[in-house]
Amino acid sequence: MNGGHCQAAVGPGATGANCTDFWDCASSYCFYFSAAGTSYSQCATACSSTGQCPPSFACSDFNGGGVCLPVSEIFVYADGGPSFTIGTEAIGQSCTQPATNPANSTPCDSTFLCSSPGGTGTCIDSCGIDSDCQDSQTSNMGWVCATLNLTSGASLDACTPPLTNIGCTFDSDCVAALGSGATCALSGFCTANPVGAACSANTTCDHGVCLSGTCSRPCCNWWSCPSGETCGPVMDSQGDVFKACQPQIPDAGGLLPGNPCDTANPNACVTGLCFYNDPAVPGHAGFCSETCCRDADCPTGYTCELEDNGFPYPDAGSSGAMGYCILR
């Protein structure tokens, strides 16, 4: 058939099974990673929250994108190494994490996240968009997916009440700190500025993201952002990378993800991303891609896979990986 392409048969390997290439896996994704001096190649599924993973798996962030990995292997990968200990508190329950050496333990279960390391907080899940939180935080409707600045200095997208850390007594306290429209909630903290409002710092926005003077939010793919924007990688001052809604490139074309494109002219795609069909084949034939958190974010026939996030460290290579829709 003209215009077709060869495709290997997809294997039966479930998430967590050993693999050598994508055709070994039911997910069409064979993920390679190295931890504590040991290398792994396992069938994987991209994710933005632990609730999207099978039992005994958790969503592990690789500085821009997440993958479902067995909880036991995430512990080996974690800074604490094999001595990493885990608690039993579930999502939404209160937690208290020691201020000393918090990387070696968590009071929460496989979500890993205590919202206030070194103090009393809540066990929270990672996320890609607000609906991830409304799915997993069933007792906390109204929570949002926000970019949190952890006490370690790292940034991570996680479920939380709309953000602000500015205490107040009167609405005027909040107007002075955040600008017109800000109010003082019953909690004694200001309500932060919504997406699209003017901002001066991440802490003034309810989703924890201030880009070029405007409040933004985490995202998974281009259609999870407002019209005229796309979902793309952002690096913070600590070198951590996350996805956030941002203006489209000025000369972006109208080709939607999944359409054929010329890799010499990626801006013909609405996302500005045109990937090679096969890097080993001469020429510029490609497909319009987009960022993603999981397979459901991609066009039919595409898999969400972690690739170089495009932000090199000053001293060595890529700073991590990010989910992109890949044709299989």
Question: Is 35 within the bounds of a domain?
Answer: yes
The H or E element spanning position 72 is: helix 71-77
Co-location of 114 and 124 in the same domain? yes
Given this model, what pLDDT does residue 34 score?
65
Which domain does 37 fall in, by range?
9-44
Quote the percentage of the chain above a pLDDT of 90. Answer: 5
Q: Considering just the CA atoms, what is the radius of gyration of the chain in Å?
A: 21
Look at residue 199 and tell me if it is in a domain: no
pLDDT tens digits along 1-47? 334 333 444 457 888 888 888 788 887 788 876 655 667 788 888 88
Distance between CA atoms of 287 and 298, rounded to whole angstroms?
A: 12
On the CB side of 125, CA atoms within 13 Å amount to 28
Domain count, the chain: 2
Token pair for residue 273? Answer: 């991303």
290 in a structural domain: yes
Q: In the prediction, which pLDDT does 82 show?
A: 43
Choose from 85-89, 142-146, 291-295 the range with maximum mean pLDDT. 291-295
Question: Do residue 24 and residue 137 come from a single domain?
Answer: no
Residue 129 lies in a domain: yes
CB atoms within 10 A of CB 308: 14
Asked if 34 and 154 sit in the same domain, the reply is no
* Burial tier of 215 (Cβ tally within 10 Å: 0-12, 13-18, 19+): buried
The bridge status of strand 105-108 relative to strand 85-89 is: parallel
Tens digit of pLDDT for each residue in 226-243? Answer: 888 889 888 776 677 788
Q: What is the pTM of this model?
A: 0.71
> Of the segments 8-12, 158-162, 260-264, which one has the largest average pLDDT value?
260-264
Residues 29, 108 share a domain = no
Average pLDDT in the chain: 74
Same domain, 17 and 156: no
Q: What is the DSSP letter of 219?
A: -
- Residue 306 maps to a domain: yes
CA angle 70, 75, 79 (to 5 degrees): 140
The answer to whether residue 97 sits within a structural domain is: yes
- 198 or 98: whose pLDDT is higher? 198
Asked if 134 and 231 sit in the same domain, the reply is yes
Paired tokens of 265? 């002219």
The 3 state secondary structure assigned to 20-62 is CCHHHECCCCEEEEEECCEEEEEECCEECCHHHCCCCEEEEEC
Identify whether residues 74 and 134 lie together within a single domain. Answer: yes
Residue 171 forms part of a structural domain: no
**For residue 168, is it within any domain?**
no
Same domain, 71 and 135: yes
The set of residues, in sequence order, having a beta carbon less than 8 Å from that of 1 and lying 6+ positions away, is none
